[in-house]
Structure 1
């Protein structure tokens, strides 16, 4: 068993190394195709190195298991997100080719619906895979919000940062770490953010309509977060009441695949 675990761990590390190499190749392609500037290169490399380091650390801390086909799909999405991140960083100096930017982003968003199905069909669902999927989603939304904010204003950044603010608040308010029930509305609102931001980035709609669409997406996201926070507050208050006055209330445990901000494996 120990030998199998060591073998699986080595294979997983090899796959993340291949992913890091693929990220470098994508950046090299972007550099050759559009002349990626220093900001794009540095940001893309930083993303690739951080992804490789964090993923390897998570793999070492979890029970050694095969990397699995679903995680390969998510890793492929992460590589695409690294390319989008490099293009957005480069856009502060020169606008990226819209076709390339939209293409990379669209494929990353489409694959978001693939890794979860692959995990279920192959029986390889895991807390690590769900967390990996969710973090890639969240970072792509953050990067897209930065890009769209350059055209519509800094208020768009609320879409990309809301999840990270929630995570930071949960460190101070433990009741925010409570487990949330499954919600199709939460999944739909979360998926809608990427689609709306991509449409806004593509510039296919008139500016007033784009502004209204992104504002609606922000309103729906705020509603989703507010609803989940209210549910967590009521649940924590009910648990405290049932425990009795002055009794210690254990902190609820939040599964890695469920949060107020993301979908986990969709």
Structure 2
């Protein structure tokens, strides 16, 4: 369903063939990843909040198509990219509230929400890197570098406790990149906002890595190095 919605969006955006391919490819990857995650988490039907999150992901794929159009043809896509991104960021404040009010918050929904945030940040960082510098790409890539590290570093494969601060940081980074993409603020102010966003992101991921490191399994397999005194015992999901 969301792939069909993405197709309609791409037609409305009136982008070239290369951009359409990029947008659809992102949508297909999203569909496969979401379906696999749903099977793992035992989700048979998407809740209302999940549908809002998928709508955000569709908009992010549209933003990806616009960025591809800009890179391929040099077209000025700011007038379309900015409002599309703004809607996606605004919906980020909606899905969590819907999940809580309808009692449908779930681990699957929280993960889907996090991946939608990460993908939008990645796409925006690619666009902003052209004007602010290649270092901005680090903000988009850090989530995927972290995910890759969990595949090869055993102690990073533990389940992290829910932490609402992650959502706050993701929102701040998205807003900072949107500001930079819009070109509305002076260059110095934009650069300062981007640096602050990067520091917040580094703190957020750094906290998670330190938390995992302090609870790593020792070489003899005899438990964790430190007790889980600081584990956040809460049923609230990150969204």
Q: TM-score, length-normalised on structure 1?
A: 0.79
Deviations 1:212-257 (A, max 9, x none): 2111211221122222212221222xx63xxxx734548xxxxxxx
Residues 173-193 of structure 1 deviation map (CA, whole Å, 9 limit, x = unaligned): 121223334444433222210
Change (3 A) 1:101 1:249: same
Distance 1:248 1:20, change over 3 A: same
Matched, 1:126 2:106: yes
Matches within 5 A, 1:64-213: 64-92=43-71, 93-213=73-193
* Contact 2:59–2:88 (Cα < 8 Å) also in 1: yes
**1:76-127 Cα shifts (integer Å, max 9, x gaps):** 1111111101001111122343232111101101111111111111111222
Unaligned runs of 5+ in 1: 1-17, 251-257
**Structure 2 residue corresponding to 1:28, chosen from 11, 21, 31:** 11
The structure having more radius of gyration, on CA atoms, is 1
Distance 2:164 2:24 in 1: 36
The 3 A distance-change label for structure 1 pair 125 and 40 is same
Secondary structure of the residue that 2:42 maps to in structure 1?
coil
Distance 1:62 1:233, change over 3 A: closer
Q: Normalised by the size of structure 2, how large is the TM-score?
A: 0.87
Structure 2: gaps of 5 or more residues:
225-231
Query: Of residues 28, 32, 37 in structure 2, which corresponds to 1:53?
Result: 32
- Paired residues in the alignment total 228
Alpha-carbon distance in 1 for matches of 2:157, 2:165: 20
Aligned-pair distance for 1:63? 2.3
